[in-house]
Amino acid sequence: MKVIIAAAGTAGHINPGVAIANKIKQEQKESEIIFIGTNRGLEKDLVPRAGYELKTIEAYGLSKKISIENFKRIIKTVRGISEAKKIVKEFKPDIVIGTGGYICGATILAAKKYNVPTILHESNAFPGKAVKMLSKKVDKILVGFEEAKNRLEQKDKVVVTGNPIKSKNIKYSDEERKNKLKQLNLNDQMPVILVFGGSQGAKKINDSLINIIKENKNEKYQVIWAPGQKQYDIIKQELEKDNINIQNIKGFYITPYIYNMEEIMNIVDLVVARSGALTITEISALGKPAIFIPLPNVSENHQEYNAKVLENINAASILKNDELNGQILNDKINEMIADKNKLKMMGNNARKIYKDNVEEKIYKEILKLLEK
């Protein structure tokens, strides 16, 4: 099988593509798979790291605002469609799969030019405008949440598969967990909170953590914190103003990005994060309680809809981004860790929405489409 996967921008777009690629390779070892992305997003790192070739084209999100910059982006995106057509023509794929990012539009249009079967995977509970537009052109739409199916017009094309993720629920022994925490200079006697803002980081969350550190608010818990590659050095400099060494803070382990998220999430008691679709899925897969701070001003407000999937079943609590500060976050963390039974119940509730065998379901849908 020859496959092109279009994915760009954030880990939330790229990792599902990698998971699908891995499944295809597992089932058909001779398969040839390439990715199409841009030279700006995390695909530059994550795709080669996963062992796949990345071809880059120009593609941008376009706004309705009239400006010279937007006009330039339109020209580059049109050029990107031509670049995608060239890649499709030369590679001759059996199927093209889009898992997110502006890159999908150009790649799907290129595939349709050469009558190549196409699949679009939508991770979010509320599909964005680009997905709704492309849904009319692709042959099949796979979605992560039941809620997404109800919000798409082309229901005959839609299949609820769940979101493909790398994280699996691992049962560590007490001794194994203790040793893993020890490697991070943390202990197993206090609750451990995982905080991250997605692959790009989240300034509002990061500012709240800086406040917690500077005022020594985390007396009752420890933190594993991934502030994002771009913001790590800024935070390091901000802490140095108070003579705080980012690598030597009691009760904190801070790293720019967590590559072993499966391992880390399995050893924590509570997750504080944005509510991207994959974060929601990982939390449900591992059965973890969460505090979500949805990213505001995103397409269709999809992060809030994602967060509500778990809030509605009493598996998570939502804090508004605009109201967030160190004191509010600290109070909410302390409130939640104070009741261990409630935390456990929330984690069990989260697990109820997880869909098993996602990659297998997606692979079967790929085969069904190719058989037609």
- Please indicate, yes or no, if residue 168 is contained in any of the structural domains: no
**Residue 202 and residue 345 share a domain:** yes
Average pLDDT over the chain, rounded to an integer: 90
- Please indicate, yes or no, if residue 85 is contained in any of the structural domains: yes
Question: Which residues, including other chains, have CB under 8 Å from residue 167's CB and lie 6 or more apart?
Answer: 261, 262, 265, 266, 282, 285, 286
Q: Global pTM?
A: 0.78
pLDDT at 67: 65
Report residue 251's pLDDT band, with 50, 70 and 90 as the boundaries. Answer: very high
Distances (CA, A) of 56 to 8, 74, 82, 223: 10, 17, 12, 37
Per-residue model confidence as pLDDT tens digits over 302-319: 899 899 999 999 999 999
**Residue 129 and residue 253 share a domain:** no
Full residue range of the structural domain in which residue 222 is found: 174-351
**Residue 120 and residue 9 share a domain:** yes
Q: State the average pLDDT over residues 48-55.
A: 95
**Residue 59 and residue 32 share a domain:** yes
**Residue 51 and residue 193 share a domain:** no
Per the model's pLDDT, the better-predicted residue between 225 and 135 turns out to be 225
**Residue 208 and residue 136 share a domain:** no
pLDDT at 252: 97
pLDDT at 71: 52
Number of domains observed in the structure of the chain: 2
**Residue 312 and residue 189 share a domain:** yes
Distances (CA, A) of 231 to 34, 41, 212, 216: 30, 15, 17, 21
pLDDT at 72: 64
Would you say 372 and 131 are in contact if contact means Cβ atoms under 8 Å apart?
A: no
- Please indicate, yes or no, if residue 203 is contained in any of the structural domains: yes
- Please indicate, yes or no, if residue 11 is contained in any of the structural domains: yes
**Residue 195 and residue 344 share a domain:** yes
Distances (CA, A) of 78 to 12, 57, 74, 351: 25, 10, 6, 43
**Residue 141 and residue 16 share a domain:** yes
Would you say 256 and 329 are in contact if contact means Cβ atoms under 8 Å apart?
A: no
Percent of the chain with pLDDT over 90: 67
- Pick the most confident of 66-80, 154-168, 250-264, 322-336: 322-336
**Residue 364 and residue 331 share a domain:** no
pLDDT at 277: 87
Report residue 270's pLDDT band, with 50, 70 and 90 as the boundaries. Answer: very high
Report residue 256's pLDDT band, with 50, 70 and 90 as the boundaries. Answer: very high
pLDDT at 10: 79
Lowest mean pLDDT among 5-14, 226-235, 273-282, 334-343: 5-14
pLDDT at 113: 93
- Please indicate, yes or no, if residue 73 is contained in any of the structural domains: yes
- Please indicate, yes or no, if residue 169 is contained in any of the structural domains: no
Report residue 327's pLDDT band, with 50, 70 and 90 as the boundaries. Answer: very high
- Please indicate, yes or no, if residue 298 is contained in any of the structural domains: yes
Per-residue model confidence as pLDDT tens digits over 142-186: 999 888 888 888 888 999 999 988 777 788 999 999 999 999 999
Q: What strand order describes the sheet that includes 222-226?
A: 252-254, 222-226, 192-196, 270-273, 290-292, 316-318
Q: For residue 54, what is the DSSP state?
A: E
pLDDT at 351: 93
Per-residue model confidence as pLDDT tens digits over 69-128: 655 665 666 676 889 999 999 999 999 999 977 788 889 999 999 999 999 999 888 887
Per-residue model confidence as pLDDT tens digits over 228-247: 888 999 999 999 999 999 99
Q: What CA–CA distance (Å, rounded) separates 135 from 205?
A: 34
**Residue 290 and residue 269 share a domain:** yes
Give the residue among 80, 92, 135 at the shortest CA–CA distance from 4: 92
Q: For residue 157, what is the DSSP state?
A: G
**Residue 225 and residue 124 share a domain:** no
Q: Where residue 235 sits, what CATH number does that domain have?
A: 3.40.50.2000
